[in-house]
Amino acid sequence: MPNVTEPRTPTLWASVALSGASIALRIAKEATSDVPIVRQILGVTVNIVDLAEKIEKNREALHALVDKTATLAEAINNIVSGRIIDEQVTQLLERLTRVFKKVEDLMSKEARKSNIANKLYRGLFIIQRETEKLSEELDNEMRLLTLAALLRVDTKVHGAEDYTDHQFRRLREYEVQTLGIITERETEQGTVRFAKARVEGTSELMVVKYFQSRTPQHRVADDLGHPDTLAAISSLGKSHPNVARLYGLATTRGATPFTVLRAGVYPVSQYLLAIGDLVTRYVAWSDIELAVLGGAEHLEHMALVWHPRSYDSIVVNDHGQPFIGAFDDLFHKDVLPAKDQAVDMLFALGELKDVALDWGYIHDEYSDLDTCDEGRLKSLMDGIHSPSPILEQVWARVHHEELSVHWKWRKEPREHWSTINSTEQIKAIKYMHDVHARWVVSPFKQNTNLEWSLVAEKEIQIGLQSVGRLGRDTTDEEEHLSHGNVDVVFLRNMRSWSNHDVYHTLLVRLWCWTGTFYAKCSYVITLSKSIAADISHILDLPDDGVEDRWGEAIEIFHGESTVTMRMV
């Protein structure tokens, strides 16, 4: 009776190992479609392993050779994985392929049926010598391939370090692989394109900026712009984690000038809308807004301003880290009027919030203001604490008028809830108010001596209590709004507002904390020219004013209101 505790024989072990190797090699072969010659090596090795399984199990020298070819095939795949294969490495791979074919031929010959005498002769005098020779050839070729790969990597690393221009890499076109257009901008001579790219020698995705001319003779320098601005703020001492950094420039000998930036490659709206859970998306939005404000404030310390064309001027990386300044939207502060820069930034951030969170209720109606929104607007105005005489005069002029009103409501966990530390939040919130003040003039100043740390700390506490409540059902008591902040702003001489072609509006906004959620509502009231003229007279404004895209914004009132009305 055989001993059941006796270890497995080498031939049995070899059989099991070969079966496992065959499966692994087949998987690797299917996954290596981008390097044909490696795919060929793996295919030959699969055939070698399959042939080995047909050979009698006592042919140990053959099985040892097969085991080596399988191991080396996987090593080859690992060596070239993720690399650009140059001519030298390709030649070495071709030499290895020829040796693998020799092993395949040997295994094919041994797998054929032949007489016992011939097999005995080959087993005693031929097989050992042939397997040793092929094994040595495999070892030699693998050493050459490994050495070439290591030298190539070392050369690339040192080349990247040595071939720089004031700390920025000089890159050749073949070192940059574009992966898709992020955005583009038309000029008179052609198109400036920004694409996500992979740069040889790094693992992170970057942004490459290049110009495609409509005429071959056109010089692209002016259209592509100069990287001096980003270069000036990309040093260790001046960079910011949320501002794009210059990484590299095209060599002067290259056919196509380009620059490579360290920045996110995904539009921020794409990133946020991919987050299904609303509360998680809210926190992500808040993190992004506060980080962007921190980056914009940092730029102002270097006399630069961020002037976004839209909210997707913000891009994020694979980890959700936002970046600004990647799309030629950084300017010296003296180039742009402070109001234009402020409003463009505020609108980009405001529209991003609308895209990310949506307004829960949006409605347009034409009615007198006392009955608008089932009387909620009247309740809001009646609940204002200590209304100023100016506000009372303005409201007395408009509240009986039948006017077009665009209103919207939204529940939120809070105005600012973030994983960013409170110190950075305080700085960002204060900067946001500073930017807002560049657009909205406050001739009737109220609450001018705000302690921003206390304001931010209060908002943070509200966020800690309210996060997670968004989207849940609330009780009748919870939906009766209570204490809130109200501001009333007169906007005149505007060319557009909330997608309406209007010139004059009255904006009333409420931010209210109910104890379970944060509510925000906005009423945009369209005014006739005669009513706007009357309000201008009450506010002692000149009859003529600057008429442009943003017009003039005058804050009439900012204060508190006790609101007793049910949410929509």
For residue 225, the model assigns a pLDDT of 53
Q: Which helix (H) or strand (E) holds 366?
A: strand 361-368
CA dist 254 and 98 (Å) reads 38
For residue 495, the model assigns a pLDDT of 62
For residue 153, the model assigns a pLDDT of 45
Pairing of strands 552-562, 440-441: parallel
Which residues are CB-contacts of 376 (< 8 A; sequence separation ≥ 6)?
Answer: 521, 565, 568
Class of domain 168-263: alpha beta
Tokens, residue 197: 């790219």
Which residues are CB-contacts of 285 (< 8 A; sequence separation ≥ 6)?
Answer: 272, 352, 353, 356, 357
pTM: 0.63
Alpha helices in 198-248 (DSSP H): 221-224, 228-232
| 30-49 residues labelled b (16+ CB within 10 A) or e (exposed) | eebeebebbbbbbbbbbbbb
CA dist 130 and 361 (Å) reads 81
CA dist 52 and 60 (Å) reads 10
Question: Could you tell me which of 303, 295, 293 has the C-alpha nearest to residue 335?
Answer: 303
Grouping H, G, I as helix, E, B as strand and the rest as coil, residue 96 is: helix
Under a CB-based contact definition with an 8 Å cutoff, are residues 336 and 329 in contact? no
Tokens, residue 185: 């901008």
CA dist 111 and 558 (Å) reads 91
Alpha helices in 328-451 (DSSP H): 338-357, 376-382, 389-398, 422-439
Encode the chain (568 residues) as per-residue pLDDT tens digits: 333 333 333 443 344 444 445 545 554 555 554 556 777 777 777 777 776 665 554 467 777 777 777 777 777 777 666 555 666 677 777 888 888 888 888 778 777 655 554 555 455 446 777 777 877 887 777 777 666 665 554 444 444 444 445 577 788 888 888 888 998 888 777 788 888 888 888 888 899 888 877 765 555 544 455 566 787 888 778 889 999 998 888 876 556 788 888 999 999 999 999 988 887 888 899 899 999 999 999 999 988 999 998 999 999 998 889 999 988 888 888 888 888 888 899 999 999 988 887 777 888 999 999 998 888 889 889 888 888 999 999 999 999 999 999 998 887 765 456 677 777 888 888 898 889 888 888 776 554 444 444 544 555 444 444 433 334 444 444 455 567 788 899 988 776 544 455 578 999 998 877 666 677 889 999 999 899 999 999 998 887 665 556 678 889 998 888 766 555 5
Which residues are CB-contacts of 499 (< 8 A; sequence separation ≥ 6)?
Answer: none
Q: At 26, phi and psi to the nearest 5?
A: -65, -40
Q: Count other C-beta atoms under 10 Å from residue 442's C-beta.
A: 18
C-alpha torsion sign, points 474, 480, 485, 491? positive
User: Which residues is 480 bridged to in the sheet?
Assistant: 566
Grouping H, G, I as helix, E, B as strand and the rest as coil, residue 176 is: strand
**Chain centroid, CA 478 distance in Å:** 37
The amino acid that residue 53 corresponds to is: E
Alpha helices in 358-421 (DSSP H): 376-382, 389-398
Look-up of token digits 């073949």: 174
Under a CB-based contact definition with an 8 Å cutoff, are residues 565 and 379 in contact? yes
Assign 3-class secondary structure to 280-326. HHHHHHHHHHHHHHHHHHHHHCCCEEECCCCHHHCEECCCCCEEECC
CA dist 347 and 345 (Å) reads 5
CA dist 533 and 500 (Å) reads 20
Grouping H, G, I as helix, E, B as strand and the rest as coil, residue 201 is: coil
Check residue 126 and report its DSSP letter: I
Under a CB-based contact definition with an 8 Å cutoff, are residues 460 and 495 in contact? no
Pairing of strands 168-171, 245-250: parallel
Pairing of strands 304-306, 245-250: unpaired
Look-up of token digits 């089932």: 374
Question: Could you tell me which of 503, 384, 390 has the C-alpha nearest to residue 443?
Answer: 390
For residue 549, the model assigns a pLDDT of 61
Tokens, residue 56: 């009698």
Question: Could you tell me which of 71, 84, 83 has the C-alpha nearest to residue 24?
Answer: 71
CA dist 111 and 51 (Å) reads 6
The amino acid that residue 196 corresponds to is: K
For residue 419, the model assigns a pLDDT of 73
Check residue 123 and report its DSSP letter: I
Q: Which helix (H) or strand (E) holds 180?
A: strand 176-186
CA dist 505 and 548 (Å) reads 14
Look-up of token digits 């420039």: 249
Count the helix, strand and coil residues of the chain and give each as a percent rounded to the nearest 5: 45, 25, 30
Domain ranges of the chain: 10-162, 168-263, 359-413+468-568
CA dist 509 and 521 (Å) reads 6
